[in-house]
Chains A and B, each alone.
Chain A
Amino acid sequence: MDNNDKPVLIDMQHVVKVFPPDVVALNDVSVDFRQGEIHAIVGENGAGKSTLMKILYAMENMNAGEIFYNAKPVHFQSTGDAIANGIGMVHQEILLIPEYSIWENVVLGLEPTRGFGKLDEKKAIADVLEKIDEFGFHLDPLALVKDISVAAQQKVEILKLLYRNVSVLIMDEPTAVLTPQEIPQLFDELRRLRDNGHTILFISHHLDEVLDLSDRITVLQKGKMIGTVTSKSTSKKELARMMVGREVIFSSIRKPCQHGDTVFEARNICYRDEDKVERLKDINFTVSSGEIVGIAGVEGNGQFELVNTIMGLITPQSGSIFVQGKDITEEPILERRKLLSYVSQDRKTMGSSASAPISENMIMTHHKLEKRFQKWNGLVLNFHEVTKFAEEIRKRFSVNMGAPGAPFQSLSGGNQQKVILGRELSLSSPFVLLDQPTRGLDVGSIEYVHEQILGMRDQQRAILMLSSDLDELFRIADRLLVLYRGKIVADLITGKTTINEIGYLMLEGTIHEN
């Protein structure tokens, strides 16, 4: 069916949203969504995708503009109002009660009752089961939400909206929490919903996914509407250009590397956790200056423990860690930080203090290691220097931010990551540990981060990078290690292996015999 035949269901006209004091999140955005289509909204972090959808869902107010729904102007007072009118949103993070069963989660807020406010359990379960069967979701309504997979939890979220007879589903980056195997299944379900007449609005920055799934694609760039295209008539390259405003290179950008001396060495590291489970088994590897070593592996195979061992958050039962020949296995964290930079995979809790000012997040660690930030023997901070430093990082890493005193959480995800990278890369440490440095970032920001990492390599730093994105590892790492059940099962030169080979190693720990 050609999309142009479908009637327009939602028409958002000239939407403007300003976050005080001066951040323009949406600048005169006009977009229409048709009945029964899957419509993707793409853009870099901070482009305004989520804000636009939140305005439609009445989670945010708009400063100007109009929304037409079925050709009538509407103004929803609350998200409940939006749901009652058939528009529902599945948020990025799962919002369910783990202790409740699936049916309890689904009916919460709209429970069938008998006299005296008694829950009509039978009817509720029957109703939920009917919806599960109608949409082919394969869920057991009696199962507790905490016992089911994230993908199934996401289905419960969708089910919850379908139970409320929602016909427009807004999905905010639904694939971010899924494993690669779970994504096609979700897409099949979304397609089935579309074929049933539901309209799906889909926020994403994974261009492959978007092209695979959606009928039409709207591109936003820094709060401005760039255009709406049909996915049949576009390509990944074109979309990337529309998003970023320039060409994006997807192929490998590695240059031949010149190794220096060994900077980092892990020697015979073994770690057993509190439950006596062996998490790291005899880990041995080195990283030389001017080298990027990537660690691949399915999550939960020891990456978390390895990173924490290097950072000193856990102490291994045996083995040692050396940086520039110095044994840091037992050193306190501040001593380690003189030798290593660290970008954690968890921006929100480990990498930053979300409610502290941006400037304070920028000088963390620096304020301890560098004299220029201290006054009165380190009793007070030298705020003049702090402001100067914040300005330096803002310029060098082109952070899009308000005043340095604004809270860190006011930044978009990409800019948060830039601040953290800026802070860590400004340290003069010889060894850099990067744990999922581009998770949750858009193509433009990822490219930028990769350039920065390669730039560090050129400064002869030793870089260890953990990533669940194999493309990323192949793009910039010189050497690849594969972690499988707490062991390093392979140490390969990137140019001499393939994604397939690494994939087998990740899943089975050995190379498939052929």
Chain B
Amino acid sequence: MNVIIGLINGMITGATPILLAALGGTMTYYAGIFNIAMEGMMLGGAFFAVLGSYYFESWVVGILFAILGSLLMALIFILFSVKLKTDEFVTGVALNLFALGATTYMLRQIFGVKGAFASPGIVPIPDIDIPLLEDIPVLGQILSGHNLLVYVGLIATILCHYLIYKTRFGLRLRAAGYNTNCLDTSGVRSDRIRTISVILCGIFCGLAGSFLSLGYVTLFSENMSAGKGWISLAAIILVNGNPWGIALISLIFGFSDGLGLLLQQYLPSQFTSMVPYIATLIALYVYSSRKKKEKFS
């Protein structure tokens, strides 16, 4: 029983950063931006989360810093791909590489360590016990006692669904993705909608990053996002950006994450850490064959 509960909890924990980043990415997906920079935004967020939490001795500041760090990446993305109209894919690649280089550099310069920085001075994001619910056997163990950001992820899924499908902003957001000209001639500046979508993506990726370095573990290590941004992209594409679909796919990826850890007992870790990337490849294959069908229909 405990093994199953452990696996489910592991799945939820593994799903959270993917879910948060993917919810951000789905905003840009609907706005018609091929955004692959979630990886970089997340990594930037993870570093700044540790920075804020360590120096201000507060996880709240940590989260704020993470959002700011990730927003910085988002602003670079906006400057290049929305304002200067550079290719989104190339911009995304550049941003991801920049994030990796910059965080590694700052890790060495600011904290003076190589590889990873861990310290008791880093304040982690607390776990939340839900009164009453926590007392229910089994269910309480599964639903209660998770990290704050797990619940934020759940609420964010509901909010994103509402935002995309029920609000004026959502109607315009999707219109930007479907037909920019139509939106512009309707008197709405599509550039602004796109900019807002990237900013929202930055905020969500900041949360995802802070979960990596202040929730999952309490440390920052080089390249600690380790492809989670790419997996979030795969999740978005697989379900055409639907927030609940993303939540489901995130759980599956979270499960494969846990499975990877489990498999480490039998296979070399180099192989088990391939799992997320193989999943991404499969997702992109599905995407491309669907695109092809659209083209010919």
> Do A and B come from the same complex?
yes
Distance in Å from the Cβ of B139 to the closest Cβ of chain A?
Answer: 32
- B185's closest neighbor in chain A, by CB? A95
Contact B166–A108 (Cβ < 8 Å): no
User: Which residues of B141-188 are within 8 A (CB) of A?
Assistant: 166-172, 174-175, 178-179, 181-183, 185-188
Q: How far is A119 from B173 in the complex, measured between Cα atoms in Å?
A: 13
* Cβ-defined partner of B169 (8 Å) among A80, A95, A97, A117: A117
Contact A119–B178 (Cβ < 8 Å): no
- B178's closest neighbor in chain A, by CB? A97
Residues of B within 8 A of A98 (CB): 178
Asked if A110 is at the interface (CB within 8 A of a chain B CB), the reply is: yes
Contact A96–B167 (Cβ < 8 Å): no
Residues of B within 8 A of A83 (CB): 187
**Known: A95-B182, A97-B175, A97-B178. Contact between A109 and B187, CB under 8 A?**
yes
Q: How far is A417 from B210 in the complex, measured between Cα atoms in Å?
A: 59
Contact A99–B186 (Cβ < 8 Å): no
Asked if A118 is at the interface (CB within 8 A of a chain B CB), the reply is: yes
**A77-105 interface bits toward B, Cβ cutoff 8 Å, 1 = contact, 0 = none:** 00110010000000100011111100011
Distance in Å from the Cβ of B164 to the closest Cβ of chain A?
Answer: 11
Contact A108–B182 (Cβ < 8 Å): yes
**Known: A95-B182, A97-B179, A97-B182. Contact between A111 and B168, CB under 8 A?**
yes
- B170's closest neighbor in chain A, by CB? A119
Contact A104–B171 (Cβ < 8 Å): yes
Residues of A within 8 A of B168 (CB): 111, 113, 117-119
Contact B186–A160 (Cβ < 8 Å): yes
Distance in Å from the Cβ of A360 to the closest Cβ of chain B?
Answer: 24
Asked if A376 is at the interface (CB within 8 A of a chain B CB), the reply is: no
Distance in Å from the Cβ of B160 to the closest Cβ of chain A?
Answer: 14
Which of A96, A110, A116, A117: most chain B CB closer than 10 A? A117
Contact B178–A108 (Cβ < 8 Å): no
Residues of B within 8 A of A109 (CB): 172, 183, 186-188
Contact B186–A108 (Cβ < 8 Å): yes
Distance in Å from the Cβ of B74 to the closest Cβ of chain A?
Answer: 21
Distance in Å from the Cβ of B200 to the closest Cβ of chain A?
Answer: 14
Distance in Å from the Cβ of B203 to the closest Cβ of chain A?
Answer: 17
Contact B182–A99 (Cβ < 8 Å): no
Contact B178–A99 (Cβ < 8 Å): yes
Residues of A within 8 A of B188 (CB): 108-109
Contact A108–B181 (Cβ < 8 Å): no
Distance in Å from the Cβ of A53 to the closest Cβ of chain B?
Answer: 14
Q: How far is A465 from B158 in the complex, measured between Cα atoms in Å?
A: 59
Contact B171–A95 (Cβ < 8 Å): no
Q: How far is A161 from B61 in the complex, measured between Cα atoms in Å?
A: 49
Residues of A within 8 A of B170 (CB): 119
Distance in Å from the Cβ of A160 to the closest Cβ of chain B?
Answer: 7
- B186's closest neighbor in chain A, by CB? A109
Q: How far is A119 from B165 in the complex, measured between Cα atoms in Å?
A: 9
**A109-136 interface bits toward B, Cβ cutoff 8 Å, 1 = contact, 0 = none:** 1110100111100000000000000000
Q: How far is A100 from B183 in the complex, measured between Cα atoms in Å?
A: 12
Which of B169, B170, B175, B186: most chain A CB closer than 10 A? B186
* Cβ-defined partner of B175 (8 Å) among A80, A108, A118: A108
- A59's closest neighbor in chain B, by CB? B185
**B260-284 interface bits toward A, Cβ cutoff 8 Å, 1 = contact, 0 = none:** 0000000000000000000000000
**B60-103 interface bits toward A, Cβ cutoff 8 Å, 1 = contact, 0 = none:** 00000000000000000000000000000000000000000000
Distance in Å from the Cβ of B287 to the closest Cβ of chain A?
Answer: 18
- B184's closest neighbor in chain A, by CB? A79
Residues of A within 8 A of B181 (CB): 95
Distance in Å from the Cβ of A150 to the closest Cβ of chain B?
Answer: 16
Distance in Å from the Cβ of B27 to the closest Cβ of chain A?
Answer: 15
**Known: A95-B185, A97-B182. Contact between A108 and B167, CB under 8 A?**
no
With A98-B178, A119-B166, A274-B296 given, name 14 new contacts (CB 8 A).
Answer: A83-B187, A91-B185, A95-B179, A97-B178, A104-B171, A108-B171, A108-B172, A109-B172, A109-B183, A109-B188, A113-B167, A117-B168, A118-B166, A118-B167
15 A-B interface contacts by CB (under 8 A): A79-B185, A80-B187, A95-B185, A97-B182, A98-B178, A99-B178, A100-B174, A104-B171, A108-B188, A109-B183, A110-B186, A119-B166, A119-B167, A119-B168, A274-B296
